[in-house]
Structure 1
Amino acid sequence: MEESLELSNSKKNNEESTVHHDVTRRLKAPYLSGIPLRIMIFMLDYVPGMASFFFWNAGLKALRKLSFEDHPTIFPLPLPKEAFRIEETTVIDGLEIFEKQKDSRPKNYSSGLLGTSDFHEAYLAKRVTPLQVCEALLLKIEETLDVTKCNPPLNAIFKYQRDDIIAQATASTERYANDCSLGLLDGIPIAVKDEVDVKGYETNAGTKFINHGNPAKDDATIIERLKEKGAIIVGKTAMHEIGFGITNNNPFVCTPRNPYNVNHYPGGSSGGSGAAVASGLCPIAIGCDGGGSIRIPSSFCGIYGLKTTCGRFSAYGEFAVSGPMAANVDDLALSYYVMAGKDPKDPHSLHQPLPTLHGLYFTNTLSDLKIGVYSAWNKQVDNPAITLALNTYINELKLRGAKIIEIKIPELEEVRLAHLLTIGTELTNTAKRYHHKLHLFSCPTRTNFNLMKLVTASDYITSQQIRTRIMHTLADLFNNQVNLILTPTTAITAPKVHSRSLSFGEIDATITSDTMRFIQLANFSGVPAVSVPAGYDDNNLPIGLQFIAKWYDEATLLRIAKTSEEILGNGRRKPSDKLWFGNYVRKVSENFFGESQVSKL
């Protein structure tokens, strides 16, 4: 605790040197694509001082005015644990929680979004087999990529290996035939973002050249754990080039579309995973979240997405920290629990307490929860439908007994700048491995690389000092005031796809800042966060809300997500029939749900 006091005094002593914005600044810059964008990248490459002009206006000048005495925190692990009051888990509830609740869980097929329990029960009842499901799914994946059948192509699962999928499905089918299922995930199709290793697949990270001709020899730890439970990996999902963007515009590989409106983006950088789940191709997909890349597409695509505590999932075999995206909260919790836990291959994962799903179904009363809202921050949205959804949920949470507490989070603008510098530097450093191929990156990515060249060692250290400060600010909030923080996930709904951007990409700093406004806090501090669907705007585009919790308290996030699922209830919608591919199970078995249940697929 002496360390905390020292940090608090440091804040006081440095009060005059900080910017102290109450909220984050909205960046405003002209939209660039096509020829103007190509001219800009030429100037950045060859005109001295051009990069300095752009980045200076983006906030580098403000950051360099700051001066702190805090020590830098390079990796957002809450160590030492005592300083952050991290305790070992006392109640371990695991996968058995789903079996205990299966008879009492209400069935709701109104949205048509199938979950793992639907598949699992159909398999157990011998109404359909995993092999039949996967054979039908393969046809649907092909359809989503065929411009004559899906125009424009959905581009969600954009590469797959038929023989491998059939082999996995055959093995699962045999297990069910012999009554030796591996559990709820056995036979469940799961898609994986293209920056997580899956044995036999290239991990291209949204490029045409990274690991080209060099397929992964082993599975990432999280994939290995999913396969151990019988999950069927059905392919790789499209992503923004090396994760350096929030729309999933990818001119050199493919740009996935939003199933709710193909003229809008699904969000990035895990946009393919978001589109795969939202379109009904699979109930679960894996994304990665270094700067909102799970929560942004989950919000834009109307699904659930969990960014876990830094170090909760093993990072072995990944470009970035992974997490689950799912059609419902049970599947989010199920996949989270299977993938979470310590792994000797990743030392950062060894500090965590045991994962648990305790309290997942404690949704009737929330009297034990205090939920913080920072009203001045939450008002920074560009769509009034988001504010309406937020207020509706706040009222519903109050009705269930939750205490809504007004809070303030200082230095959010500093956090935005520091996170931008940090993740940008990390991505640029990764790209240095391919220095002889930098010209193969798209214009927007090359623009970001040029800007990041301006970051000095001093800038980086200042950013990590800001990380120290915000981690201790959040520790104080979570230990003394609230259990959760509630914000919109994004300040906008899914942005439009501009056709002129599809060939060379685009740069839109305003859209980027609006999309990331509420996102960066959790990434930079390492705390977990979840995005939940909360309705739709006037254009039928999904709205997402975000809950943030203390380090390693994913159980409370999943509980509040389950509550949010109940609040939305029958308000959940599936995409239009043209962009809904989940009906492939009906082609396999008209009796998929059983005679006593009614499907509205």
Structure 2
Amino acid sequence: MGTKKLELRPVSEMSTSKDSDTNYTAANVKAPRMAGLLLRCFTWMMESDIFGLIFRLKLKKDNLITKVFQQTEYHEPPMFQPHFPIEEVEESGVIQLEQNRSPPDHVARALECLYPLPSRNAIGDRNRHPFLHWKIRDYAEAFVSGRITPYLVAERFLSAVEDSCNRSPNMCFFIAYNEEDILRQASESTARHAKGKPLSVLDGVPIAVKDEIDCFPYLTTGGTKWMQKVRKVKDDAACIKRLRACGALLVGKTNMHELGQGTTGINPHYGCLPFLEAVRNPYDKDRCAGGSSGGSAAAVAAGLCPAALGVDGGGSVRMPAALCGVVGLKGTYGRVSSAGVLPLNWTLGSVGILAASVEDTLIMYTAIQGHLAQDWIASFPPAANLPILKDFEDGDLSKSKIISSIKIAKYSKWFDDSDKSVRTTCYSALNVLQQEYGVKVLEVTIPELEEMRLAHFITIGSEISASIGIDYDRMGIHDSGADIRVCFALYGSFSTRELLSAQRMRFRQMHYHMEIFKTADLIVTPTTAATAPVCSADGLKYGELNYVYGAKLMQYQIAGNFLGLPAISVPIGYDENGLPVGLQLIGRPWSEATLLHLASAIELLMAPNCTKPPEVVYDLLI
């Protein structure tokens, strides 16, 4: 007798209504936290022929991978990458970008969506407010007025980064920054401003780049010691070219969890050797900034730049954004070209934005959006819409009928599966939104969320193994951290049946989410189920493997990657320890404007709750 066959009901028989008979299953990760000598021993066993086979089979069985993807029958075909219905994107209160215009022209259109920047006295504003991040337009206004130059900002940036590296502990924001290149860019920008001919509002504004994105002349390491040996950087990534066209001051490559395969940001190669280090959270130096775009999130939170680029394959932009108290946006799969991005996963990852405000997120999104003909995507983007945020100019939030007409879906059993302080803060934000706007919140059910998490894990592991596995086996295995080596040992064990079943789960999940979007504009969740974790001493010294906490940080973010949906994290307050909490909005395909519109309203409503300054923060304009 063989193993009993299980069968999933066809999606046509499944319901996403609040009365669905689907049971909610919380993430149930069966893997102990390991660090130090235990992790080293486990790594050796996972890589051995005999012990490795035993452990891999046990891990997959204990964590339901065998049951769901080996022993279960599906009625649906596989969906190998996000593929969206062909329909017009209907969004209110927007302007549409012309696709054949230059990045500076697009950014100029974004400025038309914003209220005029008020005349500001920098020092006076700083004295009136407990905490204030400077915006891109603040930098531009300071440059145009002659109060400061891009060159002086660059010098202050370099001094601040040096200070962050000399702190105890080292904040580990950057993997690489080139003083000569930064000052050269700043000098050119200063000359343009002196002539009254800046390229755009971004001209001279410091922008950081995750070390997963090509930015010539920097190497692209992906947080490793070996990737730059097998993959040479010959040109800028498409998104970097667009930022350069706008005059942005590109200030270096930010630190990241090695190969993007972790949630803490602990990196064995780019920190304070001889010990491992983590990108430190500016709100608490004893806590991690999150992974894998932790360096970009922390640099923004610390005031080193108003915005930075990240890459989001499993919440890698939104997670650190929430943990560090900044905004994090990933667009619809294919909205931003992936040309020149390290090919760690083809169907899950998207270039994303980390910024101190929704306004700056909009400006950056407008600058870098756009696909190329050679992009390997199934659904090509329609023209991008930009939200007109002038509705909020006079502070009368009730005037925005656009916000009040947005319908929000919430799966309460899932939403509530978070730490009490996170849950309470998120409900507070939702309640204020409903009171001020009368926004309608619809109760829904999303079936098979735990199965989607596992399907994403199989997919991201299989894709990175197929993409860089040969080079990893040849050059990377002995130069990689223990947690990465365990990951690759497990990734290589996924079978064809498991991978194809995971893609059939993608088909099912796309169906469920599209059903929800027939009646709702977006889905709301906490961004993470917990706030920033402590950088444990044994984890810093020897590395750490903690799938349980990692699943807790990732549990709300999978749909954005597995289904390619646009999603944004907005800071809404702090927990009892003063650590930032984020609220996540997941949108219909191509609905970035709706997300930004509602995120802007939430940002304004929750501003009084988000005035706590980080423990480590720099001011480049005063």
**TM-score greater than 0.5 by the shorter chain:** yes
In the superposition, relative to structure 1, how do residues 232 and 471 fare at CA in structure 2: closer, same or farther (>3 Å)? same
Q: Which residue of 1 aligns with 2:83?
A: 77
Kept in 2: contact 1:304–1:329 (CA 8 A) = yes
**CA distance, structure 2, for counterparts of residue 340 and residue 13 of structure 1:** 38
**Which one of the candidate residues 491, 497, 500 is aligned to 1:452?**
491
2:152 corresponds to 1:132: yes
**CA distance, structure 1, for counterparts of residue 279 and residue 510 of structure 2:** 35
Structure 2 residue runs without a partner (length 5+) = 1-7, 16-20, 98-105, 272-277, 343-348
Q: Which residue of 1 aligns with 2:547?
A: 509
Question: Match for 1:371: what amino acid?
Answer: I
**Which one of the candidate residues 192, 196, 209 is aligned to 2:209?**
192
User: TM-score scaled to structure 2, two decimals?
Assistant: 0.87
Q: Which residue of 2 aligns with 1:462?
A: 501
Question: Match for 1:470: what amino acid?
Answer: Q
**CA distance, structure 1, for counterparts of residue 541 and residue 466 of structure 2:** 26
Q: Which residue of 2 aligns with 1:473?
A: 512
Residue 105 of structure 1: how far off its partner (Å): 6.6
Where do 1:147-162 residues align within 5 Å? 150-162=167-179
In the superposition, relative to structure 1, how do residues 245 and 27 fare at CA in structure 2: closer, same or farther (>3 Å)? same
**CA distance, structure 2, for counterparts of residue 374 and residue 71 of structure 1:** 26
In the superposition, relative to structure 1, how do residues 558 and 87 fare at CA in structure 2: closer, same or farther (>3 Å)? closer
Q: Indicate the SS of the match to 1:262.
A: strand
Kept in 2: contact 1:52–1:451 (CA 8 A) = no
Where do 1:146-295 residues align within 5 Å? 146=166, 150-212=167-229, 216-254=233-271, 255-295=278-318
In the superposition, relative to structure 1, how do residues 398 and 100 fare at CA in structure 2: closer, same or farther (>3 Å)? closer
Could you list the per-position Cα deviations for residues 216-253 of structure 1 after superposition, in whole angstroms to 9, with x for gaps in the alignment? Answer: 22100000001100101000000001000111111222
Q: Which moved more, 1:190-199 or 1:433-442?
A: 433-442
Where do 1:551-566 residues align within 5 Å? 551-566=589-604
**CA distance, structure 1, for counterparts of residue 265 and residue 577 of structure 2:** 20
Structure 1 residue runs without a partner (length 5+) = 1-7, 587-601
Residue 409 of structure 1: how far off its partner (Å): 0.9
Kept in 2: contact 1:251–1:442 (CA 8 A) = yes
Kept in 1: contact 2:113–2:389 (CA 8 A) = no
2:109 corresponds to 1:96: yes
In the superposition, relative to structure 1, how do residues 291 and 163 fare at CA in structure 2: closer, same or farther (>3 Å)? same
Q: Which residue of 2 aligns with 1:406?
A: 443
**CA distance, structure 2, for counterparts of residue 100 and residue 507 of structure 1:** 45
Q: Indicate the SS of the match to 1:49.
A: helix
Q: Indicate the SS of the match to 2:209.
A: strand
Where do 1:260-339 residues align within 5 Å? 260-319=283-342, 320-339=349-368
Question: Match for 1:257: what amino acid?
Answer: R
**CA distance, structure 2, for counterparts of residue 290 and residue 153 of structure 1:** 27
Residue 125 of structure 1: how far off its partner (Å): 0.3
**CA distance, structure 1, for counterparts of residue 522 and residue 189 of structure 2:** 39
Q: Which residue of 2 aligns with 1:37?
A: 39
2:175 corresponds to 1:143: no
Residue 152 of structure 1: how far off its partner (Å): 0.6
Kept in 1: contact 2:117–2:137 (CA 8 A) = no
**CA distance, structure 2, for counterparts of residue 226 and residue 551 of structure 1:** 24
In the superposition, relative to structure 1, how do residues 429 and 300 fare at CA in structure 2: closer, same or farther (>3 Å)? same
Q: Which residue of 1 aligns with 2:345?
A: none
**CA distance, structure 1, for counterparts of residue 113 and residue 322 of structure 2:** 30
Q: Which moved more, 1:316-325 or 1:241-250?
A: 316-325
2:140 corresponds to 1:120: yes
User: TM-score scaled to structure 1, two decimals?
Assistant: 0.90
Q: Indicate the SS of the match to 1:81.
A: coil
Residue 436 of structure 1: how far off its partner (Å): 1.2
Q: Which residue of 1 aligns with 2:103?
A: none
Kept in 2: contact 1:112–1:574 (CA 8 A) = no
Kept in 2: contact 1:312–1:349 (CA 8 A) = no
Q: Which residue of 1 aligns with 2:523?
A: 485
In the superposition, relative to structure 1, how do residues 520 and 536 fare at CA in structure 2: closer, same or farther (>3 Å)? same
- CA-based RMSD of the aligned residues comes to 2.3
Kept in 2: contact 1:308–1:527 (CA 8 A) = yes
In the superposition, relative to structure 1, how do residues 88 and 482 fare at CA in structure 2: closer, same or farther (>3 Å)? closer
Kept in 1: contact 2:425–2:573 (CA 8 A) = yes
Kept in 2: contact 1:362–1:559 (CA 8 A) = no
Q: Indicate the SS of the match to 1:333.
A: helix
Identity of aligned residues (%): 35
**CA distance, structure 1, for counterparts of residue 290 and residue 152 of structure 2:** 32
In the superposition, relative to structure 1, how do residues 426 and 549 fare at CA in structure 2: closer, same or farther (>3 Å)? same
Residue 88 of structure 1: how far off its partner (Å): 10
Kept in 1: contact 2:95–2:388 (CA 8 A) = no
Could you list the per-position Cα deviations for residues 73-101 of structure 1 after superposition, in whole angstroms to 9, with x for gaps in the alignment? Answer: 111131x515xx65799841653342463
Kept in 2: contact 1:24–1:416 (CA 8 A) = no
**CA distance, structure 2, for counterparts of residue 12 and residue 106 of structure 1:** 57
Could you list the per-position Cα deviations for residues 317-354 of structure 1 after superposition, in whole angstroms to 9, with x for gaps in the alignment? Answer: 00242111000111000000110013224242871011
Kept in 1: contact 2:324–2:580 (CA 8 A) = yes
Kept in 2: contact 1:21–1:410 (CA 8 A) = yes
Q: Indicate the SS of the match to 1:285.
A: strand
Q: Indicate the SS of the match to 1:242.
A: helix
In the superposition, relative to structure 1, how do residues 62 and 100 fare at CA in structure 2: closer, same or farther (>3 Å)? closer
